[in-house]
A and B are shown apart, each in its own frame.
Chain A
């Protein structure tokens, strides 16, 4: 996999001069640069898209580009470090963009780091209410640049929601902020993450903060305590929200309880509350696997049962997955010392016969299986059983439309990927809610869409994602971005590995001329092009291919905003 991304701080030249923070320069030249992704295996949530192709489940569009009659909103995060603000910001942005709401996150920490330069620290009194004039100036410069970017995004780039990820510790500051946003005709919604449960605090500090070199070679619990104490002195004043005149949602102890003060909530605010009631900040894995190959003809309508090879696949797949989990758990135990119990595993499949039968391999082993009717494969409509050539002959005008927009176009009686994404929305929310590790057994079309949600892929890429049968895709959520891994399933019949033959045949521009005398297209032609990573070695042991996206954002993990 060639990842050409680089972290924001590599780009930033340290313009900040510790002796004279006010006079140096142009902070504007210093704004954080967002990574561009070059791979569908990197979570794209922080990309700045050049196109408008990041809204898989958008229902309608408007002239203004804003949805749900909700105008422009600044979502202002409130909360001390290690309260999961970044995690909440990122997952909220993921969901809103999925719905088509143009959303961007502005992490104040990115601006601070870009300004003080990589490896430098802010002055000791940076967060103090009675900071030195130099520190106050620096702070204001950084804030100003961040806010300017927010207004630029909302006013000139057609953005609808800006998520402002910072501590925002005082009531006075928050009132001033709401006033300033109102002046720019932007509604504000504050979301505070409030934690008074010691266990959650320690767990958060342990899992996200102690990766930083400051805490190397320390007992994790000690490091967590030290970190929290340090934050306590660094940010001495913090007032929890109680401003009656502001719109706010207070998320208490990572979603155990919500309080909201509704001065003028719009639909989007309610939707956000609904979303938040379904999220949690626990770390758990999602595994995507295909159903086994079906018996006889592959047909949408026939809904055929598994073939003998399909049944064998189900067994081998289940075993590989279980073994992988055991290995991971053993490795973790060897590393961490303390015995963490293995997370429970839940299985979801669609109501299609093949997926339900594939899931039986887990049910037999005592795992709980749920059938979900929304997870049925994409409906191919009239294109079922038609060769590409036949489709071209019978529906030339549909082919034209399809080539223009393969994500949104639907063939007669068929579903588009967009239709599928809309249908899967309840599944997405339950996916967020699930606290157990989760195996999703579904048709490739469904996996594409769910994967695209978690990894924030472009709608242009979704129809082309491939999920070969001999790989389990594992997604591990992290605060700043999700990570994907591939686990090889050994010893499968190579013929059953590639993409689903009963899928809608996606026509590619016909280069061979209309009179090519073949009746059926080349098999490879009708299938989607492979993603960049392709495993062909079937004798490979069942070990994981690790994506090291975490390395790229190491500096962000120790974020203090």
Chain B
């Protein structure tokens, strides 16, 4: 049998958790739900957001109980239930449903009584909702504000009466100036809570670049710790200009590289006032025994491994090396660090970049290991409330393609259009 992992199967955590959003409209619930979902999906804990607003718009006043039915969503570990859930009865209903299915519930409440914050949020988000298409924004905002007054009458904050103290919940009041964390059951929940506490909405961008073309890239070898090729050197020299152009000024960035020669050499010419930090966690996926081989050599020496990897590239672990799943686990602290940071430029490797890109752009694990990430191209990602904007800056310095199609052993081949990272 070809070793898919270490020959002992993939061990995934078996907890099932449902994140249930609680709070009045226009309190940023959808934003929080959306971010939690992205984080969990990336950690291979599949999750979905159920927005009750959407159901209402389709004449279904309440989501039907069937989305708790496990039979049609195999392997789903976590759901994010985004609705107001503003009464005790409603929360008990969710709780009972989940308990019946053996799913843990984490309530996340966003509570805000600051009238100005509420109105700002309404103007920002709600007036672009389909309900108000073609109306005057200010009038629409006021109308919405009046409509949600109705909810405020019946709204009960979690554990207001002291009889919900057995629930696991995170309650954030006035955008996190006061927080209650109750009965965290496991590490994953604590991780989600920490993640949500670290989110910030200050404008910032993340720049991603692969190292310049390396000598191993030229010969079609994977891994290694090779030097840059002459064209790779050119890219390193051009990078400062590319970055300045993209930043639009002399604002310094913090630069993160891996510990390998080719990324450090690529970042070498960046201005001295850019802080540089080397992370071991940004090193390329470890190909174990296949390190330094070409794909043809891998196919010749380890034919079973070659096939097994193409069958499930995300989970395949190189003999004595790593899988994409392993890489995501080791990148998790990096993502946490990224979320709390401001502007960062990351110079790293193909597999690592695919994983980081997948986090920001919500790419699923069956596709992300096959994405084309061209050499000599700077990517700027700007996270927004409901998605991430992407811009690309080409260095116009030729480089080989290191993309590889399923089953192929070619040294260099042109990527097929579907493999392109942008949609």
Query: Interface residues, chain A, CB within 8 Å of chain B?
Result: 59-60, 256-263, 267, 270, 273-274, 277-278, 299-303, 351-353, 356, 370-371, 373-374, 379, 410, 412-413, 415-416, 419, 422-423, 425-426, 429-430, 433
Contact assessment for B8 and A423 in the assembled complex, using a CB-CB cutoff below 8 Å:
no
Contact assessment for B280 and A423 in the assembled complex, using a CB-CB cutoff below 8 Å:
yes
Contact assessment for A256 and B6 in the assembled complex, using a CB-CB cutoff below 8 Å:
no
Contact assessment for A426 and B186 in the assembled complex, using a CB-CB cutoff below 8 Å:
no
B-side contacts of A412, CB under 8 Å: 225
Contact assessment for B184 and A277 in the assembled complex, using a CB-CB cutoff below 8 Å:
yes
Q: How far is the CA of A60 from the CA of B286 in the complex (A)?
A: 24
Contact assessment for B187 and A430 in the assembled complex, using a CB-CB cutoff below 8 Å:
yes
A-side contacts of B187, CB under 8 Å: 278, 426, 429-430, 433
Contact assessment for A425 and B194 in the assembled complex, using a CB-CB cutoff below 8 Å:
no
The chain A residue sitting closest to B337, CB to CB, is: A59
A-side contacts of B165, CB under 8 Å: 257
Contact assessment for B182 and A273 in the assembled complex, using a CB-CB cutoff below 8 Å:
no
A-side binding surface: helix, strand, loop or mixed?
mixed
A-side contacts of B329, CB under 8 Å: 373-374
Cβ of B333 within 8 Å of any chain A Cβ, yes or no, is: yes
- Ordered by A's residue number, 10 sampled pairs between the chains whose C-beta atoms are within 8 Å are A60-B277, A256-B183, A274-B194, A299-B320, A301-B291, A303-B6, A351-B6, A352-B6, A374-B330, A433-B186
Query: Interface residues, chain B, CB within 8 Å of chain A?
Result: 5-8, 11, 165, 176-184, 186-187, 190, 193-194, 197-198, 225, 259, 277, 280-281, 286, 288-289, 291, 317, 319-321, 325-326, 329-330, 332-333, 340
Q: How far is the CA of A352 from the CA of B289 in the complex (A)?
A: 14
B-side contacts of A430, CB under 8 Å: 187
Q: How far is the CA of A351 from the CA of B178 in the complex (A)?
A: 41
Taking the nearest CB of chain A, how far is it from the CB of B33, in angstroms?
20
Contact assessment for A270 and B6 in the assembled complex, using a CB-CB cutoff below 8 Å:
no
Contact assessment for A303 and B320 in the assembled complex, using a CB-CB cutoff below 8 Å:
yes
List 15 other contacts, CB 8 Å, given A259-B178, A301-B319: A256-B182, A258-B182, A267-B340, A278-B187, A301-B289, A301-B291, A353-B6, A373-B325, A373-B330, A379-B286, A413-B225, A419-B259, A422-B281, A423-B330, A433-B190
The chain B residue sitting closest to A419, CB to CB, is: B280
The chain B residue sitting closest to A270, CB to CB, is: B197
Q: How far is the CA of A169 from the CA of B320 in the complex (A)?
A: 56
Q: How far is the CA of A273 from the CA of B181 in the complex (A)?
A: 10
Contact assessment for B8 and A257 in the assembled complex, using a CB-CB cutoff below 8 Å:
no
Partner of A371, one of B11, B291, B333: B11
B-side contacts of A270, CB under 8 Å: 194, 197-198, 340
A-side contacts of B280, CB under 8 Å: 410, 415-416, 419, 422-423
A-side contacts of B288, CB under 8 Å: 301, 303
B-side contacts of A299, CB under 8 Å: 320
B-side contacts of A277, CB under 8 Å: 181, 184, 190, 193-194
Contact assessment for A356 and B6 in the assembled complex, using a CB-CB cutoff below 8 Å:
yes
Partner of B179, one of A262, A300, A301: A262
Q: How far is the CA of A413 from the CA of B176 in the complex (A)?
A: 43
A-side contacts of B321, CB under 8 Å: 301
Q: How far is the CA of A373 from the CA of B280 in the complex (A)?
A: 16
Taking the nearest CB of chain B, how far is it from the CB of A537, in angstroms?
36
A-side contacts of B197, CB under 8 Å: 270, 273-274
Q: How far is the CA of A263 from the CA of B179 in the complex (A)?
A: 11
B-side contacts of A370, CB under 8 Å: 11
Q: How far is the CA of A258 from the CA of B183 in the complex (A)?
A: 9
A-side contacts of B325, CB under 8 Å: 373
Contact assessment for B319 and A426 in the assembled complex, using a CB-CB cutoff below 8 Å:
no
Contact assessment for B180 and A257 in the assembled complex, using a CB-CB cutoff below 8 Å:
yes
Q: How far is the CA of A59 from the CA of B276 in the complex (A)?
A: 12
Q: How far is the CA of A379 from the CA of B333 in the complex (A)?
A: 19
Contact assessment for B190 and A262 in the assembled complex, using a CB-CB cutoff below 8 Å:
no
Contact assessment for A351 and B5 in the assembled complex, using a CB-CB cutoff below 8 Å:
yes
Partner of A410, one of B8, B259, B319: B259
Contact assessment for A300 and B193 in the assembled complex, using a CB-CB cutoff below 8 Å:
no
Q: How far is the CA of A374 from the CA of B331 in the complex (A)?
A: 11
Taking the nearest CB of chain A, how far is it from the CB of B173, in angstroms?
10
A-side contacts of B340, CB under 8 Å: 267, 270
Taking the nearest CB of chain A, how far is it from the CB of B2, in angstroms?
14
Known contacts A301-B288, A373-B326; A274/B190 CB under 8 A: yes
Contact assessment for B320 and A300 in the assembled complex, using a CB-CB cutoff below 8 Å:
yes
Taking the nearest CB of chain B, how far is it from the CB of A160, in angstroms?
18
Taking the nearest CB of chain A, how far is it from the CB of B298, in angstroms?
14
Taking the nearest CB of chain B, how far is it from the CB of A197, in angstroms?
11
Taking the nearest CB of chain B, how far is it from the CB of A352, in angstroms?
7
Q: How far is the CA of A106 from the CA of B187 in the complex (A)?
A: 30
Contact assessment for A426 and B180 in the assembled complex, using a CB-CB cutoff below 8 Å:
no
A-side contacts of B194, CB under 8 Å: 270, 273-274, 277
The chain B residue sitting closest to A357, CB to CB, is: B8
Known contacts A301-B288, A379-B286; A262/B178 CB under 8 A: yes
A-side contacts of B286, CB under 8 Å: 379
Contact assessment for A257 and B319 in the assembled complex, using a CB-CB cutoff below 8 Å:
no
The chain A residue sitting closest to B326, CB to CB, is: A373
Contact assessment for A302 and B289 in the assembled complex, using a CB-CB cutoff below 8 Å:
yes
Contact assessment for B11 and A426 in the assembled complex, using a CB-CB cutoff below 8 Å:
no
The chain A residue sitting closest to B277, CB to CB, is: A60
Q: How far is the CA of A270 from the CA of B337 in the complex (A)?
A: 12
Q: How far is the CA of A505 from the CA of B326 in the complex (A)?
A: 26
Contact assessment for B333 and A426 in the assembled complex, using a CB-CB cutoff below 8 Å:
yes
The chain A residue sitting closest to B321, CB to CB, is: A301
Known contacts A267-B340, A374-B330; A257/B182 CB under 8 A: yes
The chain B residue sitting closest to A278, CB to CB, is: B190
Q: How far is the CA of A410 from the CA of B259 in the complex (A)?
A: 10
The chain A residue sitting closest to B11, CB to CB, is: A371
B-side contacts of A379, CB under 8 Å: 286
Q: How far is the CA of A301 from the CA of B318 in the complex (A)?
A: 9
B-side contacts of A278, CB under 8 Å: 184, 187, 190
Known contacts A301-B289, A353-B7; A261/B178 CB under 8 A: yes
Q: Tell which of B177, B286, B317, B321 has the most Cβ of chain A within 10 Å.
A: B177
B-side contacts of A416, CB under 8 Å: 280
B-side contacts of A267, CB under 8 Å: 198, 340
A-side contacts of B8, CB under 8 Å: 351, 353, 356, 371
Partner of A302, one of B176, B177, B320: B320
Contact assessment for B330 and A262 in the assembled complex, using a CB-CB cutoff below 8 Å:
no
Contact assessment for A59 and B326 in the assembled complex, using a CB-CB cutoff below 8 Å:
no
Q: How far is the CA of A410 from the CA of B193 in the complex (A)?
A: 34
Contact assessment for A301 and B320 in the assembled complex, using a CB-CB cutoff below 8 Å:
yes
Contact assessment for A425 and B333 in the assembled complex, using a CB-CB cutoff below 8 Å:
yes
